[in-house]
């Protein structure tokens, strides 16, 4: 292969053909395009006519250039050009392939395998033996060299490990060999030592991808937000997305939240998730989107979980007695680390809390449901108190021990003896390891009936051996009883720092931080789920238990290893996540000595250009056909024109859509605020500027009337923008109908229907006085039928004399505008009955969504800028009276929309009065 | 009777049928076309030898007794003689250009195909002959082959002659031999060839007192010149050719030349007392037939 700059040629001698191009120039230019022969009797008349334009009998230069370009493209294409050719320099001696094999290698594992395969095939071609050394899983002895062909099948079985290689130099083969080190790109201790050792044996080449390595650290909670640290070995130029993954209520794993962070400036950033507790407790892991690597997965454990704790106090708390409340200290202790629920037991059980705390509750409201909840795995925590001491507890099933009635009091004013201190916690107790402070004293407690299981159930006792905390299992759950009250009345325990620690041990409150090494000592953990190097979760049933010390060491900073793969470990009710990224590990790119050649994994791939060039040559030749036709005048006629149109249409059709963008469908915020902040009347635009002007002026007049006479003080009326406005903000829509009004779009109709269903009202006004009567149609009425057809309209009837519209503010019997015609409203239900002693029927359901009439109300309401009527009505004082009634109708209408059938409820007044009298 | 004469007769019959089989289509088409022309009166409006009744007149001395119309005379005391209208048969010579240029059609195929100019000219000529024969005139071709004769048998002859293979000449030259003095001549051609022979022929005919009509049959393509680009135009026979790089440019000048030629032809016709018209093969054939009929009719008086 011959290489010129970035392009190499597989058959460079073919390029000599380019020198023949000038010859072609002369050959091609001598040949004019062939003329068409035509039989034509009229030729006799043509004889002697010379062409006006004298044209050289030669091919036009651009056609010539086109042809030469096509030919040149073909010649260069067949010479086999390759962009970024791979030029290999053969090495000597055996080849050792070293692969880091860590989680950071997993993201481009297939490319690594391809690179190894390439190296092996090269070695095979050169007859060199080869060996592969995985640093994350080093063999016990030196790796023997073998024929490369035998190693290739094993490549598919190679898997990266979800941990990082150790710092020790693995055993290396003797003698001289060349090394190809596939680095994962992370700096770590031991890398330089190994590099030196390898270079002592021969040449070292390094293959290392240029893309920075990304990893997620352990998530933790800071002030109710989940912080997930993201680390990168170098600034990442693109935004990184971190997703929270967990089970949905149906048990299917889903993405629960997504956060975008930028690592373009720093190598460390935090993705902050502000999740509701319900969602946060479902999160099982965080991961970097679309990155397959164990390092980009961060499992969550108890540190991110917050229990839902329901608090139920026995005594209704009185104002000002917060410190005496039995729940106060519990709230203070649990609030930072748990989500507290308060309410009645009924409501709380629906919320499925993890823990229910009953403080001094002696009689349970629903013992069966509570017992069921406990048996399904709930933790019931009970505190004693005066009520419990006073109650007969023999039949309370939800107590770990039977209680003696009365309790006992020590060290009080009326008793002998000192207040008791706590005994050290026994080894079997979950509180083992906590030291009871000296100042915690107990003055009163409830006593347990002695029994065979009392000692077993006691997990904390007083110095005199009487139980302080007892525990018993019920089904899958358990019941824990503190024999003292939850407030400071009976003991100083709730005041001490021991109290929250005890709650934490009972897994009631979440652990604030990773458990320390000392804390884990002596415990045994088992793996629940493990992460493989690609970040996939696997079950870990067949694993043996892990001593707490090892886990503690790993969590303290040693990180995961072959013996302790990353994953989720659990002991009893507690769980701990061990992530692939060791705690405290900082990522930085690996640096190599300057004389070590480093292949970028991102090297541009060799790209053969032959196909493209030959394609270009063919395209140019096709163009040449068209051009030759055009030059010889054969590219004419209707057929060609049609073909061109079709081609053009195809071309345009294939261009990316430049269609109109969907129009913005949201309401202008300022307009929305104006409409939402007060009662606003609105009218539908008709497209007729005069009608719109009158409608707006009419609504203005009605608004002014309402302002002057009623408690409704509307803002300026608006003209609807039906396609964009949020209709829910408008109280009443006045819709004047003109004969040539454009219909709203289907989307707008959907919004109108939603508006009507949601309690809105539309006042349709055909403005034709309904002169033609029912059933016949004026142009406006016909248009109204067409406009209203897509609306959900209930059955209608002429407004009955007892309709609530007749009395929502004024007592009215007619509803005139400029005309005085009938109006139609939603029909009353057929079973409406006249109430006893009342002049109207019992119609107290629903506001009519529609009022339809033709009285041209807007014209009657309309006022000009000076507040004077815009249009005359009737004549003389009768006309003024009609205008007044029209305004009263408007007031009634708005009142009807705003108050619904409040006035109709008067039907119940006698009954209410009767009840009040009792 | 031997077998041999029988065979010869059969041969003759078959040849005759073969020859005749080519005729009916042209003749039928011509008859159809001629049927569209309403026959008018062709009488000379005066007394003379003829078949139609003209008038009765009182017999006077010198009239032969057998000419007295006794049926009419019996109704009065006088004798009447029945006179007939003078009907004079004219001789009409047809000349249909059969040169190669007439075999041109601008659209020989397809839905909007047009007949060749020659076909249209032959159809017109034969239809005219049918009309003439129906009117009792004598019809023939110029030249020696078919002198004018009356009767339908002549139509068969004309159809046969018109269906014959055409000459290989590029442009036709009118034949004037055998045209009787004071006869009528109808020339159908594209008149695209050299005009000198035509002039000579017209002069010769005018000398003999022959009048007639010239119908120029053209293809619409010749009228419109719808050609573009580099083209070599060749005459139908191939004897003439003209090359151009841009046929579009020639159009205006070609049309000008065509119009000039037409003017000249009209001038020639007027000078000789003839009539001239142009017909395009894209148009229906009835129009030129009517014109031909009327033009010849006018001149017959």
pLDDT above 90: residue B225: no
Comparing alpha-carbon positions, the chain B residue that sits nearest to A631 is B229
Q: What is the CATH number of the domain that holds A846?
A: 3.40.50.12140
The pLDDT value recorded for residue B226 is: 85
Query: Looking at the structure, do residues A481 and A371 belong to the same domain, yes or no?
Result: yes
Q: Please answer whether residues A574 and A511 qualify as being in contact, where contact means their C-beta atoms are separated by less than 8 angstroms.
A: yes
Which of A551, A574, A600 finishes a domain? A600
Dist CA A353 CA A306 (whole Å): 11
Query: Looking at the structure, do residues B153 and B292 belong to the same domain, yes or no?
Result: yes
What is the strand order of the sheet A718-719 is part of?
A: A718-719, A681-683, A732-736, A761-765, A850-853, A824-826, A796-798
Widest Cα–Cα separation across chain A: 149
Q: Does a structural domain hold residue A913?
A: no
Dihedral angle computed from the Cα positions of residues A396, A402, A404 and A407, in that order, rounded to the nearest 10 degrees: -90
User: What are the C-alpha distances in Å from A317 to residues A78, A328, A743, A799?
Assistant: 93, 10, 62, 55
Q: Does a structural domain hold residue A89?
A: no
Residue with tokens 């099948």: A153
Query: Looking at the structure, do residues A563 and A421 belong to the same domain, yes or no?
Result: no
Q: Does a structural domain hold residue A606?
A: no
Sign of torsion over alpha carbons A23, A25, A26, A28: positive
The pLDDT value recorded for residue A888 is: 92
pLDDT above 60: residue B210: yes
A42/B258 Cβ within 8 A: yes
Dist CA A691 CA B44 (whole Å): 85
Query: Looking at the structure, do residues A207 and A217 belong to the same domain, yes or no?
Result: no
Q: State the CB neighbour count (10 A cutoff) for residue B112.
A: 8
Q: State the CB neighbour count (10 A cutoff) for residue A846.
A: 13
The tokens describing B60, both together, are 């006077």
pLDDT above 60: residue A317: no
pTM score above 0.80: no
Give the total number of structural domains in chain A. Answer: 4
Query: Looking at the structure, do residues B140 and B154 belong to the same domain, yes or no?
Result: yes
Q: What is the pLDDT of residues A8-47, one digit of tens each?
A: 787 778 888 888 888 777 776 655 556 788 888 888 888 8
Query: Looking at the structure, do residues A291 and A393 belong to the same domain, yes or no?
Result: no
Chain B residues with beta carbon closer than 8 angstroms to that of A632: 229-230
CA distance B117 to chain A (A): 11
Query: Looking at the structure, do residues B96 and B58 belong to the same domain, yes or no?
Result: no
Q: Residue range A796-822: average pLDDT?
A: 84
The tokens describing A770, both together, are 């309904």
Q: Does a structural domain hold residue B12?
A: no
Q: What is the pLDDT of residues A620-665, one digit of tens each?
A: 988 888 887 777 666 666 666 677 777 777 665 555 444 344 344 5
Query: Looking at the structure, do residues B60 and B171 belong to the same domain, yes or no?
Result: no
Structural domain range at position B78: 53-84
pLDDT above 70: residue A777: no
The pLDDT value recorded for residue A656 is: 46
Chain B residues with beta carbon closer than 8 angstroms to that of A52: 246, 249
Spatial CA neighbour of A219 closest among A273, A260, A255: A273
Count CA atoms within 13 Å of residue B222 on its CB side: 34
Q: Please indicate if any CB of chain B lies within 8 Å of the CB of A638.
A: no
Query: Looking at the structure, do residues A300 and A334 belong to the same domain, yes or no?
Result: no
Query: Looking at the structure, do residues A350 and A463 belong to the same domain, yes or no?
Result: yes
Q: Please answer whether residues A805 and A843 qualify as being in contact, where contact means their C-beta atoms are separated by less than 8 angstroms.
A: no
Query: Looking at the structure, do residues B59 and B170 belong to the same domain, yes or no?
Result: no
pLDDT above 70: residue B299: no
Helices (H), A531-679: 548-553, 610-631, 637-654, 669-676
CA angle A876, A880, A881 (to 5 degrees): 110
The pLDDT value recorded for residue A891 is: 92
The pLDDT value recorded for residue B266 is: 93
Q: Which residue has the higher pLDDT, A447 or A518?
A: A447
pLDDT above 90: residue A746: no
Comparing alpha-carbon positions, the chain A residue that sits nearest to B255 is A45
Q: Please indicate if any CB of chain B lies within 8 Å of the CB of A40.
A: yes
Q: Please answer whether residues A252 and A240 qualify as being in contact, where contact means their C-beta atoms are separated by less than 8 angstroms.
A: no
Q: Does a structural domain hold residue A294?
A: yes
Q: What is the pLDDT of residues A170-190, one digit of tens each?
A: 888 888 888 888 888 888 888
Q: Residue range A584-596: average pLDDT?
A: 79
pLDDT above 90: residue A260: no
Rg, chain A, Cα only: 44
The pLDDT value recorded for residue A316 is: 53
Nearest to B233 among A43, A51, A55 (CB): A43
Selected residue of B242, B246, B254 to mutate for chain A interface (largest A Cβ count, 10 A):
B242
Q: What is the CATH number of the domain that holds B210?
A: 3.40.50
Give the total number of structural domains in chain B. Answer: 2
Which of A534, A553, A588 finishes a domain? A588
Dist CA B120 CA B114 (whole Å): 9
pLDDT above 70: residue A907: no
Q: Does a structural domain hold residue A846?
A: yes
Can you list the positions of beta strands (E) in chain B? Answer: 53-58, 80-84, 91-96, 138-141, 184-189, 211-218, 231-234, 241-244, 275-280
The pLDDT value recorded for residue B260 is: 92
Q: What is the pLDDT of residues A488-535, one digit of tens each?
A: 888 888 888 888 888 877 766 555 455 666 667 667 788 888 888 888
Residue B154: which residues within 8 A CB-CB, separation 6 or more? B129, B133, B138, B139, B140, B146, B148
Query: Looking at the structure, do residues A250 and A290 belong to the same domain, yes or no?
Result: yes
Q: Please answer whether residues B106 and B91 qualify as being in contact, where contact means their C-beta atoms are separated by less than 8 angstroms.
A: no
Query: Looking at the structure, do residues B277 and B212 belong to the same domain, yes or no?
Result: yes
Query: Looking at the structure, do residues B57 and B189 belong to the same domain, yes or no?
Result: no
A43/B231 Cβ within 8 A: no
Q: Which of A81-90, A429-438, A446-455, B249-258 has the highest average model confidence (pLDDT)? A: B249-258
Query: Looking at the structure, do residues B95 and B76 belong to the same domain, yes or no?
Result: no
Widest Cα–Cα separation across chain B: 90
CA distance B211 to chain A (A): 28
pLDDT above 50: residue A580: yes
Nearest to A33 among B117, B230, B257 (CB): B230
Q: Does a structural domain hold residue A807?
A: yes
Dist CA A563 CA A579 (whole Å): 14
Residue A651: which residues within 8 A CB-CB, separation 6 or more? none
Q: Which of A219-228, A385-394, A659-668, B47-56 has the highest average model confidence (pLDDT)? A: A219-228
Query: Looking at the structure, do residues A349 and A490 belong to the same domain, yes or no?
Result: yes
Least reliable range by pLDDT among A323-327, A754-758, B103-107: A323-327
Phi, psi (5° rounding) for residue A851?
-125, 125
Dist CA A100 CA A188 (whole Å): 11
pLDDT above 60: residue B22: no
Query: Looking at the structure, do residues B242 and B273 belong to the same domain, yes or no?
Result: yes
Can you list the positions of beta strands (E) in A650-760? Answer: 681-683, 718-719, 732-736
Least reliable range by pLDDT among A200-214, A762-776, B28-42: B28-42
Q: What is the pLDDT of residues B25-76, one digit of tens each?
A: 566 667 777 766 655 445 556 676 666 777 888 888 888 888 888 888 898 8
The pLDDT value recorded for residue A845 is: 59
Q: Does a structural domain hold residue B1?
A: no
Chain B residues with beta carbon closer than 8 angstroms to that of A37: 231-232, 234
Query: Looking at the structure, do residues B213 and B97 belong to the same domain, yes or no?
Result: yes
Dist CA B143 CA B202 (whole Å): 15
Which of A567, A600, A633 finishes a domain? A600
Query: Looking at the structure, do residues A446 and A539 belong to the same domain, yes or no?
Result: no
Query: Looking at the structure, do residues B250 and B128 belong to the same domain, yes or no?
Result: yes
Query: Looking at the structure, do residues A224 and A190 belong to the same domain, yes or no?
Result: no
Query: Looking at the structure, do residues A278 and A359 belong to the same domain, yes or no?
Result: no
Q: State the CB neighbour count (10 A cutoff) for residue A431.
A: 19
Q: Does a structural domain hold residue A246?
A: yes
The pLDDT value recorded for residue A30 is: 56
Sign of torsion over alpha carbons A342, A348, A351, A355: positive
Dist CA B31 CA B156 (whole Å): 12
Q: State the CB neighbour count (10 A cutoff) for residue A177.
A: 22
Query: Looking at the structure, do residues A695 and A827 belong to the same domain, yes or no?
Result: yes
Dihedral angle computed from the Cα positions of residues A276, A277, A281 and A286, in that order, rounded to the nearest 10 degrees: 40
- This complex has an ipTM of 0.73
Q: Does a structural domain hold residue A717?
A: no
The pLDDT value recorded for residue A635 is: 64
Structural domain range at position A867: 689-703+731-908
Least reliable range by pLDDT among A307-311, A338-342, A508-512: A508-512
Query: Looking at the structure, do residues B155 and B229 belong to the same domain, yes or no?
Result: yes
């Amino acid at each position: 292969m011959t290489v010129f700059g970035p392009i190499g040629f597989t058959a460079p001698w073919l390029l000599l053909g380019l020198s023949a191009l000038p010859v072609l120039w002369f050959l091609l230019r001598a040949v004019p395009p062939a003329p068409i022969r035509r039989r034509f009797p009229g030729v006799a008349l043509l004889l002697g006519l010379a062409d006006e334009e004298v044209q050289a009998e030669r091919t036009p230069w651009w056609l010539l250039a086109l042809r030469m370009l096509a030919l040149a493209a073909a010649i260069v294409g067949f010479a086999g050009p390759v962009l970024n050719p791979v030029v290999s320099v053969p090495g000597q001696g055996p080849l050792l392939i070293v692969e880091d094999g860590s989680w950071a290698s997993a993201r481009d594992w297939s490319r690594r395998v391809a690179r190894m395969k390439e190296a092996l095939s090269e070695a095979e071609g050169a007859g060199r033996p080869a060996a592969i050394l995985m640093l994350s899983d080093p063999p016990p002895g030196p790796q023997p060299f073998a024929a490369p062909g035998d190693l290739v099948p094993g490549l598919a079985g190679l898997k990266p490990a979800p941990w990082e290689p150790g710092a020790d130099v693995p055993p290396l083969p003797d003698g001289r060999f060349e090394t190809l080190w596939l680095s994962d790109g992370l700096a770590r201790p031991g890398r330089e030592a190994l590099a030196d050792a390898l270079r002592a044996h021969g040449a070292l080449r390094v293959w290392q991808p240029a893309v920075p390595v990304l990893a997620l650290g352990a998530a933790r909670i800071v002030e109710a937000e989940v912080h997930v640290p993201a680390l990168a070995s170098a600034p990442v130029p693109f935004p990184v997305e971190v997703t929270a993954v967990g089970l949905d209520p149906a048990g299917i794993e889903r993405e629960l939240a997504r956060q975008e962070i930028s690592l373009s400036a720093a190598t460390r950033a935090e993705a902050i998730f502000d999740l509701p507790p319900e969602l946060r407790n479902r999160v099982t892991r965080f991961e970097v989107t679309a990155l397959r690597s164990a390092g980009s997965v961060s499992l969550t454990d108890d540190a991110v979980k917050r229990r839902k704790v329901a608090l139920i106090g026995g005594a209704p708390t009185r104002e000002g007695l917060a410190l005496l409340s039995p729940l106060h200290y519990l709230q203070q202790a649990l609030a930072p680390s748990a989500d507290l629920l308060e309410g009645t037991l009924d409501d709380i059980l629906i919320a499925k809390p993890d823990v229910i705390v009953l403080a001094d509750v002696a009689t349970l409201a629903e013992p069966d449901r509570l017992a069921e909840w406990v048996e399904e795995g709930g933790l019931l925590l009970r505190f004693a108190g005066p009520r419990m001491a006073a109650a007969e507890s023999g039949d309370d099933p939800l107590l770990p021990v039977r209680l003696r009635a009365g309790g006992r009091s020590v060290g009080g004013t009326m008793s002998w003896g000192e207040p008791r201190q706590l005994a050290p916690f026994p080894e079997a107790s979950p509180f083992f390891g906590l030291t009871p402070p000296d100042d915690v004293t107990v003055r009163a407690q409830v006593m347990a009936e002695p029994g065979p299981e009392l000692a077993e159930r006691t997990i904390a006792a007083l110095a005199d051996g009487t139980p302080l905390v007892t525990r018993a299992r019920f089904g899958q759950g358990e019941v824990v009883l503190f024999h003292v009250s939850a407030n400071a009345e009976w003991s100083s325990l709730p005041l001490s720092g021991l109290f929250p620690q005890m709650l934490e041990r009972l897994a009631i409150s979440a652990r604030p931080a990773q458990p320390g090494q000392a804390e884990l000592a002596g415990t045994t953990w088992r793996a629940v789920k493990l992460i493989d190097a690609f970040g996939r979760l696997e079950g870990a049933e067949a694993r043996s238990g892990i001593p707490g010390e090892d886990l503690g060491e790993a969590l303290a900073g040693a990180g995961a290893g072959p013996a302790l793969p990353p994953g989720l470990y659990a002991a009893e009710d507690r769980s701990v996540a061990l992530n692939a990224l060791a705690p405290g590990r900082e990522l930085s790119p690996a640096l190599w000595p300057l004389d070590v050649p480093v292949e970028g994994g991102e090297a541009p791939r060799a790209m053969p250009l032959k196909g493209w060039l030959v394609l270009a040559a063919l395209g140019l030749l096709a163009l040449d056909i068209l051009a030759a036709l055009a030059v010889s005048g054969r590219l004419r006629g209707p057929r060609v024109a049609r073909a061109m149109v079709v081609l053009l249409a195809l071309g345009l059709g294939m261009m990316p859509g430049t269609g109109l963008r969907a129009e913005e469908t949201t309401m202008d915020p300022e307009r929305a605020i104006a409409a939402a902040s007060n009662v606003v009347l609105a009218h539908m635009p008709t497209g007729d500027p005069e009608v719109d002007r009158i409608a707006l002026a009419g609504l203005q007049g009605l608004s002014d009337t309402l302002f002057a006479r009623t408690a409704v003080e509307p803002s300026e009326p608006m003209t609807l923008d039906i396609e964009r406005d949020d209709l829910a903000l408008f109280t009443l829509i006045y819709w004047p109908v003109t004969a040539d009004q454009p219909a709203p779009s289907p989307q707008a109709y959907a919004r109108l229907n939603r508006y009507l269903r949601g309690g809105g009202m539309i006042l349709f006004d055909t403005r034709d006085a309904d002169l033609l009567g029912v059933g016949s149609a004026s142009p406006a009425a016909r248009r109204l039928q067409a406009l209203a057809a897509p609306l959900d309209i209930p059955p209608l009837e002429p407004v009955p004399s007892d309709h609530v519209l007749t009395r929502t503010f004024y007592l009215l019997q007619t509803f005139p505008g400029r005309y005085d015609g009938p109006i139609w409203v939603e029909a009353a239900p057929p079973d409406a009955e006249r109430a006893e002693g009342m002049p109207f029927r019992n119609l107290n359901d629903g506001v009519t969504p529609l009022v339809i009439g033709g009285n041209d109300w807007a014209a009657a309401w309309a006022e000009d800028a000076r507040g004077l009527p815009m249009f005359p009505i009737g004549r003389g004082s009768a006309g003024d009276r009609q205008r007044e009634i029209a305004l009263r109708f408007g007031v009634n209408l708005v009142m009807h929309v705003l108050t619904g059938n409040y006035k109709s409820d008067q039907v119940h007044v006698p009954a209410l009065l009767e009840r009040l009298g009792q | 009777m031997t077998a041999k004469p029988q065979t010869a007769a059969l041969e003759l019959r078959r040849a005759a049928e073969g020859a005749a089989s080519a005729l009916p289509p042209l003749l039928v088409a011509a008859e159809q076309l001629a049927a569209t022309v309403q026959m008018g009166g062709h009488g000379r409006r005066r007394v003379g030898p003829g078949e139609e009744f003209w008038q009765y007149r009182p017999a006077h001395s010198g009239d032969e007794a057998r000419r007295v119309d006794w049926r009419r005379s019996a109704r009065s005391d006088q004798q009447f003689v029945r006179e007939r209208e003078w009907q004079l048969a004219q001789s009409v010579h047809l000349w249909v250009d059969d040169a190669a240029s007439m075999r041109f059609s601008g659209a020989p195929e397809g839905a909007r195909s047009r007949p060749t100019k020659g076909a249209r000219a032959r159809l017109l000529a034969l239809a005219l002959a049918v009309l003439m024969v129906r009117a009792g005139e004598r019809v023939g071709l110029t030249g020696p082959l078919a002198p004018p004769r009356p009767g339908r048998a002549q139509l068969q002859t004309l159809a046969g002659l018109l269906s014959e293979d055409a000459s290989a000449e590029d442009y036709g030259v009118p034949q004037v031999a055998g045209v009787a003095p004071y006869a009528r001549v109808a020339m159908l051609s594209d008149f695209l060839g050299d005009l000198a022979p035509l002039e000579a022929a017209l002069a010769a005919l005018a000398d003999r007192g022959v009048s007639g009509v010239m119908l120029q049959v053209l293809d619409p393509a010749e009228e419109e010149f719808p050609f573009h680009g580099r083209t070599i135009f060749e005459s139908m026979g191939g004897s003439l050719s003209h090359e151009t790089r841009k046929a579009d440019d020639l159009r205006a000048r070609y049309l000008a030349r065509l119009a000039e030629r037409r003017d000249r032809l009209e001038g020639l016709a007027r000078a000789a007392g003839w009539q001239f018209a142009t017909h395009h093969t894209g148009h229906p054939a009835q129009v030129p037939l009517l014109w031909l009929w009327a033009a010849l009719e006018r001149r017959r008086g």
